Structure 1
Amino acid sequence: MRAVVVRRFGGPEVLEVAEVPVPEPGPGQVRIRVAAAAVNPVDLATRAGVLTAAGVIPPRKVLGLGWDVAGEVDAAGPGARFRPGDTVLGLRDRIALPLGAYADYVVLDASAVALAPPGVSPVEAATLPLNALTAAQALDLVESTGTVLVTGAAGAVGGYAVALAHARGRQVVAVAGEADEAIVRGFGADEFVPRGRDLGERVRARVPGGVDAVLDTALLGLDALDAVRGGGEFVAFAAGAAPIPLRGVRVRTVWIRADGEQLAGLATTLRPRVAGVLPLEKAPAAHERLAAGGVRGRLVLTP
C-alpha cells in the first residue's frame, strides 16, 4: 500500500509516497480503508521538524503524516466496537508513528473513531476531527459562561470555536480579516473586530472592561491577552504559545485528544468546510497551498 512519509525534515519536497506493508489492527483497534485525509498546519510543522525540535515528537527515522481520516472499516481487532463496512471518521493523535492518515489504510483505536453521519461525504467528514475536537476541547476548558473572544475566527479551528461558543450560549466576539466579517458572523459571532494593532483597546471599546475569555486560535499571545478582563481566562492553541498570565488571567493550553464519542456529536452539528481536493500523490502541492495562506476550510487528500 501507499503512504506519505518523511525521512528527513524540510520543505514539501521531502514528502515521499512510499510502499509499506498494510497494517494489522490489534485488540480494540480498527483498520480503515482511507477515502479522504485532511491536511492541517500541524502536518506542515511535523514535516519541517518543528515539532521534533520542540520536543513534541521524539526523533524518528520515519514519520507518517495526517491526523484526520474518513473512510470504511476494513478489518476490526478483538473488542473493537465497529464492523467491516462501517463508514467512519477518526483522529490519529499518536503522531510519532511511522504511518499516518496520508495512506491507503490506517489503524486507529476504536475509541478514536465515530460513525460518519448520513449525507456527509468522506471528503467532508475528513475535515472535521482535528479542528472540531480542538475547538470543542478548548471551549471545555473555559469555566466562564460570559463573553468569549475568538481570534483567527475565519480559520478552520476558529470557525468551529465561534459556532460552538454560540451554540453554548456565549456572546462571541470574533477577530479576523476585514473581508471575512460576513463569514464569521454566519458562524454565529455577535461582534466583529478586524485583526490589527491595538486589539485590546478595540475589543474593550465593544466590551467594556474586557471579555471573560479568549480562544486564541491565531496565536496572537499578549495582544489577545490584553483584551481579557482581570481574572479572566485565556486558552492557547500551540506549545509555547501561552503568554504570561498577567492580571491574574488563568492561562491554559489545549492539548487535543482523540474522542470518538465527542466526535460523533460534533459531526452531526458542525458544517464541514472543504477548501479543495487533491490525490494522495499531490501532498507536496497541498502543503505548498496551505503554507501560502488564505485557505478557508481544509484541503483534502484522496487515495
Structure 2
Amino acid sequence: MRAMVVRRFGGPEVIEPADVPVPEPGPGQVRIRVAAAAVNPVDAATRSGILTEAGVIPPREVLGLGWDVAGVVEAGTGFRVGEAVIGLRDRIAAPLGAYAERIVLDASAVAPAPAGFSPAEAATLPLNALTAAQALDLAGTGRTLLVTGAAGAVGGYAVALAHTRKLRVVAVAGAADEAQVRTFGAGEFVPRGPDLADRVRALVPGGVDAVLDTALLGLDALDAVRGGGEFVAFAAGAAPLPLRGIRVRHVWIRADGARLADLTAAGVLRPRVADVLPLSAAAEAHERLAAGGLRGRLVLTP
C-alpha cells in the first residue's frame, strides 16, 4: 500500500511516497481504511526535525506523518467491519501515520464517526478537539479564560467547549476574525497586537484566571493572568517562566476514543476544512500550511 513518509528532515520537499506492507491489527486494535487525514502543525514540526531536536521524537530512519484519520474499519476488535470511524494516532515516532491508505490504531483511540459529517470534515476533529478538551481540564476551576489564537482549529474548539462550561471567555485573534470567533462562544474579544495584557486587564481587572495559549504568545499572554492563576502551553519549549505564582502546564495530547465520542456527540464542534487534496500532494499541503492564512485544516485523501 502507499504511504507518505520522511527519511530526512527539512522542508516539504522531504515528504516522499513509500510502498509499505498492509499493517495487521494486534489484540485490542483495529485496522482502518483511510478516507481522509488532516494536516496539522505537528506534522510540519515532525517533518522539519523540530520535535526530534526537542527530544520529543527519538531519531528514526523513517517517520510516518499524520495524527487524524477518518475511515472505515477493515479488521480488528471493538468495532464492526465496515463501520465509519475517526481516530487519533498519538505515537508520533511510528514509521506509519495517517498519511497512508490504511492505519492500525488501538481500539481505545477510535470513536464512531459523527453523523452528518463528510470524511474530510470528520478527519479534522480528533487531534484538535481532544487537545482543546484536555487543555481545558488543565485550566483549573476559575471562571475567566483567555484563549489566544481563537480563530485557529484548537483555539476555536477551546472557545466553544469553554462556552458550554459557562466560562467567561476572552478571545484573541486577528481583528478580521472577530465575528467568527464570537459565533464560537467568546463573550469578549481582543485583537492580537502589542500591549495585549493591558487590553485584557482593561476588560478583566486583576487578570484572567487562566489562559490557553494556543498562539504561543508566551510572556505576553502570561502577563494577562492573575497571580496564582493557570497558564496552559501547547508546544515543547513554548512555556514561559512561572512568574507571580502562576502554574504553567503543558497539554500533552493523548488518544481517548471515549472522550472523542462524547465531544463529537455533543454537537458543539464545527469542523472547518480549508481544502481537500490527494495524498500524493502532501508536500503541497505542507507548503500551504507554512504560508499561513488558512481557516480550517487541509485534508489529504488516498
Q: Cα distance, 1:143 vs. partner?
A: 1.7
Aligned length, in residue pairs:
300
Corresponding residue of 2:121: 124
Q: Which residue of 1 aligns with 2:12?
A: 12
Could you tell me which residue of structure 2 aligns to residue 292 of structure 1? 291
Letter of the aligned partner of 1:131 in structure 2? N
| Structure 1 counterpart of 2:244 | 247
The residue number in structure 1 matching 2:154 is 157
Runs of 4+ residues deviating >3 angstroms: none
Alignment of 1:32-71 (within 5 A): 32-71=32-71
Structure 2 residue 108 is matched with structure 1 residue 93: no
How far apart in 2 are the matches of 1:142 and 1:202? 21
**C-alpha contact 2:124 2:271 (8 A) present in aligned 1:** yes
Give SS of 2:33's match. Answer: strand
Q: Secondary structure at the match of 1:172?
A: strand
- Structure-2 separation of matches of 1:236 and 1:121: 31
* Structure 1 segment 247-266 matched on structure 2, within 5 A: 247-266=244-263
CA distance in 1, matches of 2:21, 2:43: 22
CA distance in 2, matches of 1:17, 1:301: 13
Correspondence for 1:184: 181
SS in 2 for 1:125: helix
Task: Give the conservation status (yes or no) of the 8 Å contact 1:176–1:194.
Answer: yes
Distance 2:292 2:31 in 1: 33
Deviation at 1:121, TM superposition (A): 1.3
Instruction: Indicate whether 1:227 and 2:193 are aligned.
Output: no
1:266 and 1:13 map into 2 onto residues whose CA distance is 36
| Correspondence for 1:209 | 206
> TM-score w.r.t. structure 2 length?
0.98
- How big is the shift at 1:177? 0.4
Letter in 2 for 1:289: R
2:99 corresponds to: 102
Paired with 2:254 and 2:17, the residues of 1 have a C-alpha distance of: 27
3-state secondary structure, aligned to 1:164: helix
Measured after TM superposition, the shift of residue 144 of structure 1 is 2.0
**Residues in 2 aligned to 1:119 and 1:192: alpha-carbon distance in whole angstroms:** 31
Q: Percent identity?
A: 80
Structure 1 residue 119: Cα displacement: 1.3
Measure, in 2, the Cα distance between the counterparts of 1:267 and 1:289: 27
Kindly state the Cα deviation for residue 109 of structure 1 after the two structures are TM-superposed.
0.2
1:70 counterpart letter in structure 2: A
* Conserved? CA contact 2:149–2:213, under 8 Å: yes
Supply the RMSD in Å over aligned alpha carbons: 0.7
What stretches of structure 1 of length at least 5 have no aligned partner? Answer: none
SS in 2 for 1:25: coil
How far 1:145 sits from its partner (Å)? 3.3
For the residue of structure 2 that corresponds to 1:193, the secondary structure is strand
Take 1:10 and 1:45, find their aligned partners in 2: how far apart are those partners?
A: 10
Tell me which residue corresponds to 2:132: 135
Equivalent residues of 2:208, 2:225 under 8 A apart: yes
Which of 109, 112, 127 is 2:109 aligned to?
112
**Counterpart Cα distance in 2 of 1:85 and 1:145:** 44
Contact 2:142 2:210 (8 Å CA) reproduced:
no
Alpha-carbon displacement from aligned partner over 1:108-152 (angstroms, at most 9, x marks no partner): 000000001221111110000001100000001122231000000
* Cα distance in 2 between the residues matched to 1:144 and 1:207: 17
How far residue 30 of structure 1 moved from its aligned partner, in angstroms, is 0.3
In 2, are the aligned partners of 1:125 and 1:267 still within 8 Å (CA)? no
In structure 2, what residue type is equivalent to 1:287? H
Partner SS, residue 162 of structure 1: helix
CA distance in 2, matches of 1:274, 1:220: 25
Distance 1:171 1:159 in 2: 15
Name the SS of the counterpart of 2:217 in structure 1.
coil
Residue pair 2:69, 2:87 contacting (<8 A) in 1 also? yes
Kept after mapping to 1: 8 A contact 2:23/2:102: yes
Q: If the length of structure 1 is used for normalisation, what is the TM-score?
A: 0.98
Structure 2's unaligned 5+ residue stretches are: none
User: Is 1:83 matched up with 2:80?
Assistant: yes
Structure 1 distance, partners of 2:199, 2:273, is 32
Deviations 1:175-205 (A, max 9, x none): 0000000010010000000001111101001
